[in-house]
Each structure stands twice: as structure tokens, then as C-alpha cells.
């Protein structure tokens, strides 16, 4: 039954071309700016907004959604899933990159619309269940509260989430936020397989009152996460903010979509930015 449903859905799928996506998002990169869905590779689609990625990984026994953008964006994400020919009720699991409004503000509404189970790292659990970031988050005060979601799956570093034949691995990569999570899996098409890494943000962003220099243990953990991402074997990198990995230019053929050094380069940029931030703080 599921196989026939999935085949019919794929036949009806109508993702936008990258040219159509670029036209819809011309001059826009806001968190809630609506964008048409685009296919990245094989069974992986971006159903998010012009400025926030929301990844739909489809399978014959149900789908996995990673990130839900803002509360305002949730209806558009749901409409994008349906435009691709998929039923909302076939989205079985929802995960996130990290617990900030721009990535999880829409989770509660998407959970309501789909009936999916939400999964979370322990360090993001309270934020997702209350809609408020934790006091130890460097960005405390920068993001507005969001509607709480009900967490049904507690993750751990290296935990493999399975939905039918789909298998994606959760990697704890705290730094940008305490609950930052990166994801990896393989997707295949016509005999060609690629290793996806949906790597969480690595920017050292904070409120004006927060100094990374005053939180040495947090900085140590942040650096460990960067090393972890740097060592990941990835051929196709995607990031929650598409510009951070030049996603749309790569899909348009302006830069390589597949690059075995992408994770290493991404982590190195994050490390350089963190070092610059620490140097700037100590100069004051």
C-alpha cells in the first residue's frame, strides 16, 4: 500500500525549477518569505522559505521533515509538501537543527497538521516543550517565544532514526545553540548514491551581553563540534540557512553541488569566525 502511494505521489510531484525558485525569492531571504519547493537530489526536497531550509526526506513508508522555519511559514511548508504530491499525514517524524524561532517556530503547527512525532536532543528538549530558549543559550533574548511542540523521541549523539527504509543519523553539534544537531544519511538515484550532511549553523552569534570568552567550557564544546563536522564524510552539504552553504547557486550549477571537502571547509569557516569573535572580545 505504502509503495503504491509513494509511487503515485512521486509521479504527481511538481517541484519548482531552480530558476523558478530564484525568481520567487529575488530580493528576498527572510525567514518567512514563501518559496516554492525544490528537489535537491533523489528523495530530498527543500520545502522551506527563501531564507530557511526545511528538508523533506521521502520514503515509501513515510517521510521525515527536518526544520519547520517560523510559525508564519508553517502553512507554506505544508502547502509545499502537498504541491509535491505527498500527504501531510505521511510525514511521520519531525526533527530540527536547533531550537531557535527561525527553525522551530513552525514545528508545533506542522506537528498538528501532520500528526508526526517530534524528536529532540536532550539539550533542546525544554526549549521545544516550552517554546523558550534556555538561559545558557548565547542568543537568549534575541528570539521570540514560539508555540511548544510535544517531543516524542529523545535523541542521543549517533542515534539512528528509522522510518521504513529511511535511516538518518543524529549528531550532537552544540555551539550555535546548546541543542544544535547535525544530520547525515545516504540517498540514491539511478544507481548513484550521495552522502548528505545537514550541518547545523556554526556561527558564533549572541546577544550583546554575552561573551564567549566568559564561557570557556561552552567554547571548548563548540570547538569539539566543529572538529566533528570537519571530520564528517559528506558529498552533499546543506545548511539551515541556505546562504551559509551557497545552496541555491550550487543547485543552479554556478558552483559544484557535490563536493567531498564541503564539510571540512564549512567547519573551518566556523572556526575562523569563532576565533575572530574571541579576539574581538578580548580586545575590549
Q: Is the pLDDT of residue 274 over 80?
A: yes
To 10 degrees, what angle do helices 107-114 and 74-83 make? Answer: 40
What is the structure's pLDDT at 243?
Answer: 97
Owning domain of residue 87: 2-283
Closest to 216 (Cα-Cα) out of 139, 126, 281, 121: 281
Q: What is the pLDDT of residues 168-214, one digit of tens each?
A: 999 999 999 999 999 999 999 999 999 999 999 999 999 999 999 99
| pLDDT tens-digit readout, 220-266 | 999 999 999 999 999 999 999 999 999 999 999 999 999 999 999 99
Q: How far is CA 242 from CA 46, 77, 193, 269, in A?
A: 10, 16, 22, 15
Q: How far, in Å, are 43, 67, 71, 171, 259 from residue 84 at the CA level? A: 11, 18, 21, 28, 27
- In sequence order, which residues have a C-beta less than 8 Å from that of residue 25 and are 6 or more positions away? 33, 35, 50, 248
Q: Does residue 31 contact residue 51 with C-beta atoms inside 8 Å?
A: yes
Residue 284: pLDDT band by 50, 70, 90 thresholds?
A: confident
Grid cell 544507481 is found at 191
pLDDT of res. 175: 98
Contact 84, 15 (CB under 8 A): yes
At which residue does the C-alpha cell 509513494 appear? 6
**Radius of gyration in angstroms for the set of CA atoms belonging to the chain, rounded to a whole number:** 18
The pLDDT value given to residue 13: 63
**DSSP 3-state assignment of 23?**
helix
Q: What is the mean pLDDT of residues 137-165?
A: 97
Give the per-residue pLDDT at 11: 42
Give the number of domains in the chain. 1
- Reply yes or no on whether the pLDDT at 8 is more than 50: no
Confidence of residue 157 (pLDDT cuts 50, 70, 90): very high
pTM of the predicted protein model: 0.94
What is the CB-side half-sphere exposure of residue 167 using CA atoms within 13 A? 5
pLDDT tens across 75-133, in order? 999 999 999 999 999 999 999 999 999 999 999 999 999 999 999 999 999 999 999 99
Question: Hey, how many other C-beta atoms are within 10 angstroms of the C-beta on 218?
Answer: 17
- CATH number of the domain bearing residue 216: 3.60.15.10
Pairing of strands 117-120, 151-154: parallel
Amino acid at each position: 500500500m505504502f509503495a503504491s502511494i509513494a509511487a503515485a505521489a512521486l509521479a504527481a510531484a511538481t517541484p519548482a525549477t531552480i530558476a523558478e525558485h530564484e525568481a520567487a525569492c529575488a530580493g528576498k531571504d527572510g525567514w518567512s518569505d514563501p518559496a516554492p519547493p525544490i528537489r535537491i537530489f533523489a528523495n530530498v526536497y527543500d520545502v522551506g522559505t527563501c531564507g530557511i531550509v526545511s528538508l523533506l526526506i521521502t520514503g515509501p513508508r513515510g517521510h521525515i521533515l527536518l526544520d519547520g522555519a517560523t510559525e508564519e511559514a508553517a502553512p507554506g511548508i505544508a502547502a509545499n509538501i502537498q504541491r509535491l504530491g505527498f500527504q501531510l499525514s505521511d510525514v511521520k517524524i519531525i526533527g530540527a537543527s536547533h531550537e531557535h524561532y527561525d527553525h522551530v517556530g513552525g514545528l508545533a503547527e506542522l506537528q498538528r497538521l501532520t500528526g508526526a512525532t517530534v524528536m529532540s536532543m536532550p539539550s533542546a528538549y525544554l526549549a521545544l516543550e516550552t517554546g523558550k530558549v534556555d538561559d545558557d543559550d548565547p542568543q537568549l533574548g534575541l528570539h521570540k517565544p514560539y508555540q511548544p511542540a510535544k517531543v516524542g523521541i529523545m535523541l542521543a549523539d549517533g542515534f539512528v532514526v528509522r522510518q521504513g527504509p529511511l535511516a538518518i543519523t543524529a549528531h550532537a553539534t552544540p555551539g550555535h545553540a546548546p541543542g544544535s544537531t547535525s544530520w547525515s544519511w545516504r540517498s540514491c538515484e539511478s544507481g548513484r548514491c550521495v552522502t548528505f550532511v545537514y550541518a547545523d549553523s556554526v556561527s558564533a552569534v549572541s546577544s550583546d551581553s554575552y561573551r564567549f570568552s566568559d564561557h570557556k567550557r561552552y567554547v571548548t564544546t563548540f570547538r569539539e563540534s566543529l572538529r566533528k563536522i570537519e571530520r564528517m564524510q559528506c558529498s552533499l552539504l546543506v545548511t539551515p540557512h541556505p546562504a551559509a552553504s551557497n545552496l541555491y547557486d550550487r543547485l543552479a550549477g554556478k558552483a559544484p553541488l557535490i563536493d567531498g571537502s564541503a564539510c571540512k571547509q564549512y567547519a573551518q569557516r566556523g572556526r575562523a569566525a569563532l576565533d575572530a569573535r574571541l579576539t574581538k572580545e578580548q580586545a575590549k
